[in-house]
Structure 1
Amino acid sequence: MIKVLDNAFYYLDNFHQVLTWIGDRYDDLLTTEERDFITGFPTLPQASRALLVRMVMRKGTLFRASKLAYAEIGSAHEAARPLAALGLIEEDPLLDLEQLFDLLQKPEIGKIFQLAPYLRQLRKSEQLEALREQYDGQHRFSNWYENSGDHVYSHLTQQLCDRLRLIFFGNYHQDWTEFVLSDLGIYQYEKVAFSPAARGFRSRRDIDDFLMLHQCHERFVDGEDPAGVIRDLPPCSDDNEWLRSRRDKLTFTIAQHVEKLADWKAAHALYAGCHYPGARARAIRVLEKDEQPREAFDLLQVALQQPESEAERQQLLRMAPRLARKLGHAKLPRTPLAQALRIDLSLPPPQEPSYVEFVVRDHLARDDAPVYYVENSLINSLFGLLCWDAVFCPIPGAFFHPYHRGPADLHSADFQRRRAQQFADCLAQLDGDQYRATILANYAAKTGIQSPFLYWEALDEDLIGLALDCIPPLHLKRAFERILLDIKANRSGFPDLIQFWPAERRYNMIEVKGPGDRLQDNQLRWIEYCATHQMPISVCYLQWAA
């Protein structure tokens, strides 16, 4: 149930919580500016503090007092005075024409610039272009718009507050709305017991490296020369795998861009120095594109001896025959892959637009053999419910604030190894009957709590009950073991449908392909794995009947 917040200053209380949390746990890593803000902010009047936090939580750094109308704050202009006195905001800042246009409404623009009737009919962007050459300087708002009866403020602490948010969350994708959504009961988080010493950043260098990586990412997204961005990437500490993986991911993304530009040598250099999953396979492919089949084949042979993942092995085996042929080698023998059963259907098109998966689901469903559209939701959720305690085990570096959707190291190479005993204990329940009680108990106790494996909206007691009745525990164990081998890659690629025969206590997973559609690589890998381990799986090819 969604709660109603009675405290008008809930957002201010949340902001104070962040400052207190950071001050208690990160004081030795803070700059003088950050420490002074944390200690000085609580001394401001409540209305002034609330106004600054309202600015922090809104988009941009320029605000009109008339747009900062909050009942609990009262007069924004009065609340702004102490902030301006401390240099936290600037009143009546210098604005260029574009900044001014962002603050004004069209009638105000027409009034200030006394626009001719035909200009008043244009869109704001067109009005801006028409006036840009004539007004290319900066002026204070009060000079641009005399007698407006309004005030404009420039928020000067946005970067500082963004840094504090980063220090608290350990990332930039979570923001201040997390608190509100949690207060309202929309998001619920597992309560993990971690020590006061638990924190996401271990040194100031970690914080600065993260900031630099973020800036480099933004520069690349904005279209800056990739060479300059690469040159400015921080090296990152060897003992911080989390930051190094972020660096490798950005390097891989830039390498893909350079590859699309057909700069083979630059792309190969980037891939070769990158440890992000898939980089080695791309390096081989780039060598092939650069007419260096011998070098590509030699690197492929090395990679095949110890593939980094099933995905890389799949790519290598796909490239190997082509490279061997280019070098005049004998045709390589193909290793037969385990296959899924094939279902061919020819059905009339639905009268109303519908997904092919739903058409097949409804066609195959029987009273005694229901069919569910589950895709990645069911097996991941059963895994998450059985292994809840292992996933949320409070080991060092995994949790460091109360708003984690999952462990911070979820995609780290040593995620499973660091929790090996906990996962072993969870999976051992599948050797007996305890797994059923654990899954059902966690479903009852944890429903709605954020987890990287749970798809709550796709679950209900009937579906879970059918799955536990019809899927043998050995099959669940095999699926869960594969998820743990490569969490990032193996949480996807599951078949679209699952059909249960409760009376016979059996099931079948069904991947659906419509006309012209074909299996994706991650789907092929799951199909081969399931078929190899005698887990019932089919591929249904649907054609529309004429």
Structure 2
Amino acid sequence: MKAPPIELPEKYYLDYFSAMLKHVQHLYGELLSKGEKSFIRRYNKLPEDAQCLFIRLVNRRGCYFRMEKIAYAEIEDQEKALALLLRRKYFSRLHPKHVVELPWVLNTYTKAELTDLCKQVLEKEQLKQVKKLKKPELIIAMIQLTSAADLLKVLKEKEMIVRVGHEEELEMLKFLYFGHLDGDMTQFVVRDIGYIKTEAYDQAKMKALFKSRIEAEDKLKLSKVYREFKYMRDELLLGADQIYSVVFSA
């Protein structure tokens, strides 16, 4: 007889994130930076709704989010939680300083939405140029054909877009816990619904992977370099000479 499906608690991700923080503190308390310790301390003081909204977004792809598209039934007062996270600098509103990340912001829109946006910021002749472009090419064209500052202004007036913060602290905390850059909260989920052995993330059996802060930072840097190399090799399909040129011209 087939076993019934395992149902996770409504706020399972909250438990997972808290468990990760506690375990990292237990194993690496002396290795954590002031910023990481401050992040954990301040996070633990947040109301539950604010914790939930923060974790929900950091667990998603990307760092920019259109808040009118975000809704979670288990968060009782999302508007209040959002306001608090903005005040306490966990999130930041779209700002001119984000201009260098404009491609990431535009990527939160669908191709159809970008096409409509073009009608607000491009001239008629320019619209003809971009009409048949695919989404990645359209994003590049929009940035090239219009003022980035004007584009940001239109986006800000259109809706609330926020950027998630504390990326550096979160990156190191997750790296300390998982030991690699590919670890995320979904690995707790597949553990708890039985798709991987419990021992894989049995905290009672987990041991410190790094003996010093320097070792952890060096391995994190190497992991990031390797991730960049894999992206250039496997996604951009660059050859060895091209990769060498990119790396040593940076």
Q: 1:188 to 1:223 in 2, by over 3 A?
A: closer
* Correspondences of 1:162-177 after superposition (within 5 Å): 162-177=171-186
Task: Specify the alignment match of 1:30 in structure 2.
Answer: 32
In the alignment, the residues of structure 1 paired with residue 181 and residue 191 of structure 2 have an alpha-carbon distance, to the nearest angstrom, of 18
Q: Work out whether residues 64 and 162 of structure 2, in 8 Å CA contact, stay in contact via their aligned partners in 1.
A: yes
Q: Take 2:93 and 2:60, find their aligned partners in 1: how far apart are those partners?
A: 18
The yes-or-no answer on 1:217 pairing with 2:222 is no
What's the CA shift for 1:146? Answer: 6.0
Contact kept in structure 2, 1:93 and 1:153, CA below 8 Å:
no
Q: Residues 219-234 of structure 1: matches in 2 within 5 Å?
A: 219-221=228-230
Q: Tell me the equivalent position of 2:135.
A: 124
- Paired residue secondary structure (1:44): coil
Give SS of 1:162's match.
helix
Tell me the CA shift for residue 84 of structure 1.
Answer: 1.6
Q: How many angstroms does 1:200 deviate by?
A: 1.3
TM-score scaled to structure 1, two decimals? 0.37
Q: CA separation of 1:33/1:113 partners in 2, compared to 1, >3 Å: closer, same or farther?
A: same
Q: Secondary structure of the residue that 2:92 maps to in structure 1?
A: strand
1:153 pairs with 2:162: yes
Q: What is the CA–CA distance in structure 2 between the aligned matches of 1:20 and 1:105, rounded to whole Å?
A: 38
Partner of 2:211: 202
Q: CA deviation at 1:207?
A: 0.6
Q: Secondary structure at the match of 1:78?
A: helix
The alignment partner of 1:154 has SS state of strand
Where in structure 2 are there 5+ consecutive unaligned residues?
234-238, 245-250
Give the direction of change, closer, same or farther, for the CA distance of 1:140–1:71 in structure 2 (3 Å limit). farther
1:189 equivalent among 198, 213, 216: 198
Percent identity for Structure 1 against Structure 2: 25
- Secondary structure, counterpart of 2:56 in structure 1: helix
Residue 187 of structure 1 aligns to a residue whose secondary structure is coil
- Counterpart residue number, 1:40: 42
1:19 aligned residue (12, 18, 21):
21
Paired with 1:205 and 1:78, the residues of 2 have a C-alpha distance of 40
Residue of structure 1 equivalent to 2:113: 108
Q: Deviations over 1:17-43 (max 9, x none)?
A: 011111122110100011111121111
User: Structure 1 pair 174/132, CA: closer, same or farther in 2 (3 Å)?
Assistant: closer
Tell me how far apart the structure 1 counterparts of residues 14 and 142 of structure 2 sit (CA, whole Å).
41
Deviation at 1:77, TM superposition (A): 3.8
SS of 1:108's partner is helix
Higher strand share: 1
| CA distance in 2 between partners of 1:215 and 1:74 (Å) | 38
Question: 5 Å matches for 1:453-492?
Answer: none
Partner of residue 51, structure 2:
49
Going by fraction, where is helix more abundant, 1 or 2? Answer: 2
| Alignment partners' CA distance in 2, 1:140 and 1:46 | 35
Contact 2:94 2:156 in 1 (8 A): no
Q: Helix, strand or coil: the match of 2:208?
A: coil
User: Hey, what's the Cα distance between the residues in 1 that align with 2:72 and 2:112?
Assistant: 24
What is the one-letter code of the residue matched to 1:27?
Answer: G
Flag the 1:57–1:137 CA change in 2: closer, same or farther, 3 A: same
Higher relative contact order (CA 8 A, sep 6+): 2
> Pairwise mapping of residues 66-465 of structure 1 onto structure 2 (< 5 A)?
66-74=68-76, 76-94=78-96, 95-96=98-99, 97-114=102-119, 116=124, 118=128, 119-120=130-131, 122-138=133-149, 141=152, 143-145=153-155, 147-148=157-158, 150-190=159-199, 198-221=207-230, 257=240
State the alpha-carbon separation in 2 of the partners of residues 211 and 193 from structure 1.
21
Size of the aligned set, in residue pairs, is 224
Structure 1 residues 146 and 138 mapped into 2: Cα distance closer, same or farther (>3 Å)? closer
Cα distance, 1:177 vs. partner? 0.8
The 1-side partners of 2:231 and 2:71 are apart by 34
